[in-house]
Amino acid sequence: MATIRDVANRAGVSPASVTRVIGGYPNVSEVLRGRVLAAVEEVGYNPDLLAAGLRRGTTNTVGVIINDILNPAIAQMVDIIESELRVKGFGVIFANSNGDPANDLESLRLLKQRRVDGLIAAFSDDQQEELQQDLANLPIPTVLLDRKMDTPGISAVLTDHYAGASLLLRHFIDRGHREIGLINGSLSGYPSRARAYAYRDIMKEFDLPNRPELQMNERGSEEFGRRAIRELFSLDNPPTAIIVGNGNTGALAGVLGEIRDRRIRIGEDLALAACEDGPLTTLHTPPITTLRRDIVDFAMRATHLTLQMLEKKSDSSHEVLLPLTLNIRESTDWDIAGRTAGAAMSS
């Protein structure tokens, strides 16, 4: 294998000069840089970038931890984040916790060993005490994706899931629904907690019973979606409207599959809405009412906030809260009282 000395001999410079060029040290002339880089290519030298980075105190890498790669919104965020960081000269080390809080902790410690310069994370459990302690001792810029923690010095880009869920609940109540189901994600994550708080507060505002049996909380999967519908419709007083709060496509697919198997007509027998927009909601017949957010803007803000801290343009932590908009479609755009009256007249 080629060595630094081989590069130095080919370029006609000292090994120390080669080290300065490869290590990205300042005050290196363009002439010297060109000669060394040409020699690197000619002799086939592969520099140890990690070792060079450690000598500089940086590695030009950012760690990205997510909780669920099967969530299309998260996958889109990661794609944008990686592309933007790459343009700025940063590599990305990616970890998927797969919904397991133990993996959150393991991934964080692994990235710390890899000496990443910054961290962008959507943890499975943002309430885990051991994780918060490790983050408090992590001396690098950290930005959370739709996660909320009380750890000082950590920034976050958040979606206003509380306001979004409130919009959906008011929409249902305005159309006469009183028994509203919420198929939600795990409450260990900020988005699902925010939706649960909105459900509690809106039901109280309209003096409606807050029935725990109408609220299902679990990591998203097709099996969970089907089971949630089975349990909701086994109740003596089942819901006339349901919010699918879990962003995992599998959960929504399970919900739709079980509803179809039971011959329940969405938009006639049941109002159904989802908290994340996507192809499954637009292509379904009838199209499904959703909450919509700008994923590109969300991911870009998280990336730029990370880059600002890496470039020492910002030393303080920031919290950004981005809105959701209600996109009403045929699955919910009908009045339950009118439907009931029409059914009575036809009989």
Domain match, 306 and 269 both: no
The domain that holds 33 is classified in CATH as 1.10.260.40
pLDDT tens sequence across 281-317: 999 999 999 999 999 999 999 999 999 998 886 667 8
Q: Into how many domains does the chain fold? A: 3
- Binning pLDDT at 50, 70 and 90, where does residue 20 land? confident
Q: Which of 40, 56, 72 is the last residue of a domain?
A: 56
Domain match, 121 and 152 both: yes
Q: Which of 56, 72, 99 is the last residue of a domain?
A: 56
| More reliable by pLDDT, 23 or 252 | 252
Q: Which of 56, 75, 90 is the last residue of a domain?
A: 56
Give the β-pairing of 325-327 and 289-292: antiparallel
Contact 324, 159 (CB under 8 A): yes
The domain that holds 304 is classified in CATH as 3.40.50.2300
Question: Is 343's pLDDT higher than 60?
Answer: no
Domain match, 132 and 19 both: no
Question: Is 342's pLDDT higher than 60?
Answer: no
Domain match, 336 and 217 both: yes
Domain match, 336 and 199 both: yes
Beta bridge partners of 143: 120, 155
| More reliable by pLDDT, 198 or 17 | 198
Domain match, 216 and 336 both: yes
Domain match, 31 and 108 both: no
Q: Lowest mean pLDDT of 28-32, 333-337, 338-342, name the range.
A: 338-342
Question: Is 318's pLDDT higher than 70?
Answer: yes
pLDDT of residue 183: 97
Contact 159, 293 (CB under 8 A): yes
Domain match, 244 and 275 both: yes
**What's the mean pLDDT in 78-100?**
90
Residue at 258: amino acid letter: E
10 Å CB burial of residue 286 (0-12, 13-18, 19+) is: middle
Question: Is 346's pLDDT higher than 60?
Answer: no
Q: Which domain holds residue 147?
A: 61-159+295-324
Percent of the chain with pLDDT over 70: 92
Domain match, 220 and 249 both: yes
Domain match, 289 and 299 both: no
Domain match, 275 and 229 both: yes
- Binning pLDDT at 50, 70 and 90, where does residue 113 land? confident
pLDDT of residue 250: 87
Paired tokens of 96:
């998927």
10 Å CB burial of residue 68 (0-12, 13-18, 19+) is: buried
CA distances from 300 to 80, 156, 339, 343 (A): 7, 13, 44, 49
| CB within 8 Å of 97: residues ≥ 6 apart | 65, 66, 67, 68, 103, 104, 107, 123, 124
Paired tokens of 12:
């006609």
Percent of the chain with pLDDT over 90: 63
pLDDT of residue 52: 54
Domain match, 129 and 104 both: yes
